Amino acid sequence: MTQKIGVIGIGHAKFGKRKDATIRELAHEAVKPALEDAGITTTDIDAAVIGVAGDEFAAQGSSGALIHDYIGMKNKPMFRVEAACATGSAGIRAAWSLIKAGLAETVLVVGAETMTQVGSPKATELMAKAGDTRWEYPFGITFPGFYALMATAHMHEYGTTREQLSMVSVKNHKYGVLNPYAHLQREVSLEEAVKSLTICHPLNLYDCCLISDGAAAVILANEEKAKKLCDTPVWITGLGSASDTMMISERQTLTSLTATRLAAEKAYRMARVSPDDIDVAVVHDCFTIAEIMAYEDLGFCKKGEGGKFIEEGQSYIGGERPVNMDGGLKAKGHPLGATGVSMTVEITRQLRGEANKRQVSGAEIGLSHNVGETGQYCFVHIYAR
């Protein structure tokens, strides 16, 4: 029960408008390299945890079972998880728990989603239903609307500027260009981002993440198996999870996500580290204001100084705390079920030193932060090489 649990295999499908692949094919595109990376086959896997946030996107009920069959895991235990945008990280936590409980030695985690085939209006509607369908959704509020409220509050209370929001986008597009799996591999200038089309004031086009298709896969193993199968396991040393009210109107504040703060405290405590020990992080930047609030809620800077943090370049490579070197949700894309697993893939690459031109030199401790809905779910994981 005291054994460490490590990542021994990672795989990633290309994110984007994937008209060339179904959800099961995207999952296979991620699982195959993960198995090859670990040097094992599906016969060596004891169980699978599969994350798909919404069956309506793929027009397929029980997507988890469909994927499970297609990747060759027939007759093995399979668990489907769902935590909205944090589904992938919920899958990582569930797999970790299975191993920690002694119910499995190796577990495959797959996150997948196909969102683009329903079109942007329908996808926006489906995601809006993750808000309260009695008191929020019927009145027309969408996720850009929710985060626009947070941005407006943060700008009012702390003086965060329009330019600072756009600086997050500029950074994440810069690194997204260097990520071969990213949906949007295109840099954007600050002027272009600031002057882009208003989506929901004060959020512009380049403040909003992409609607994407994609998949990612991770293989976890207990310490004995990990050391036997892998020369460079990346250990998951801390896990934190928390929640908040379903209705955003019942929150105590709109300038912070309580679930992030609570989940981060738990993860830091379990890993016996502090925010100052984090060498590289991936955070949930579904909107640029979300990344700025994450800087603050994760303890990378003081409350209200997130705008200053990005303006000073502190979240770039070479800065105090490099964040979203994979392009983040903003440029890499956000296929809901895949996002949290993709985050684990990125941190594993960084800690192995395999991130090429977006590598954070000497990174030894990493953090992933994945939010579901508007903070109703939050998972923070700490990793060490």
In a domain, 124, yes or no: no
**Same structural domain for residues 324 and 219?**
no
**Same structural domain for residues 165 and 53?**
no
Please say if 85 is a catalytic residue: yes
For residue 232 the two structure tokens come to 């460079």
**Same structural domain for residues 253 and 168?**
yes
In a domain, 285, yes or no: yes
pLDDT of residue 135: 79
User: Which listed residue (154, 334, 369, 381) is catalytic?
Assistant: 334
CATH classification of the domain holding 22? 3.40.47.10
CB 178 within 8 A of CB 168: no
Q: Is the pLDDT of residue 132 over 80?
A: no
For residue 17 the two structure tokens come to 């408008």
pLDDT of residue 59: 75
**Same structural domain for residues 351 and 268?**
yes
CA dihedral 265, 335, 168, 191 (to 10 degrees): -170
Q: Is the pLDDT of residue 312 over 90?
A: yes
**Same structural domain for residues 263 and 348?**
yes
Q: Which residues contact 323 (CB under 8 A, 6 or more apart)?
A: 280, 281, 282, 283, 291, 294, 295, 300, 315
Strand, helix or coil for residue 378:
strand
Query: What's phi and psi for 163, nearest 5 deg?
Result: -65, -40
pLDDT of residue 1: 47
- Residue in 115, 328, 129 with CA at minimum distance from that of residue 211: 115
Q: Is the pLDDT of residue 84 over 50?
A: yes
Please say if 378 is a catalytic residue: no
**Same structural domain for residues 263 and 166?**
yes
Place of tokens 């935590």: 83
In a domain, 112, yes or no: yes
165-202 per-position pLDDT tens digit: 999 999 999 999 999 999 999 999 999 999 999 999 99
Helix, strand and coil in the chain, % to nearest 5 = 45, 20, 35
- Residue in 87, 73, 81 with CA at minimum distance from that of residue 31: 73
Out of 200, 234, 268, a domain closes at: 234
pLDDT of residue 177: 98
**Same structural domain for residues 271 and 304?**
yes
Mean pLDDT to the nearest integer, 132-156:
89
**Same structural domain for residues 345 and 270?**
yes
Place of tokens 């990793």: 383
pLDDT of residue 2: 66
314-366 per-position pLDDT tens digit: 999 999 999 999 999 999 999 999 999 999 999 999 999 999 999 999 999 99
pLDDT of residue 129: 73
Rounded Cα–Cα distance for residues 215 and 181 (Å): 10
Q: Is the pLDDT of residue 237 over 90?
A: yes
**Same structural domain for residues 141 and 277?**
yes
Query: What's phi and psi for 142, nearest 5 deg?
Result: -115, 180
Mean pLDDT to the nearest integer, 31-42:
97
pLDDT of residue 145: 92
For residue 218 the two structure tokens come to 């991770």
pLDDT of residue 142: 85
In a domain, 123, yes or no: no
User: Which listed residue (28, 68, 85, 208) is catalytic?
Assistant: 85
**Same structural domain for residues 144 and 73?**
no
**Same structural domain for residues 59 and 155?**
no
Question: What are the distances in angstroms from CA 314 to CA 254, 292, 311, 370?
Answer: 24, 12, 8, 21
Instruction: Find the domain containing 174 and state its range.
Output: 131-208+236-384
Q: 75 burial class (0-12, 13-18, 19+ CB within 10 angstroms)?
A: exposed
pLDDT of residue 366: 98
* Domain count of the fold of the chain: 2
**Same structural domain for residues 185 and 222?**
no
In a domain, 73, yes or no: yes
In a domain, 155, yes or no: yes
Q: Is the pLDDT of residue 121 over 90?
A: no
What is the per-residue DSSP string for 256-282?
A: S-HHHHHHHHHHHHHHT--GGG-SEEE
In a domain, 309, yes or no: yes
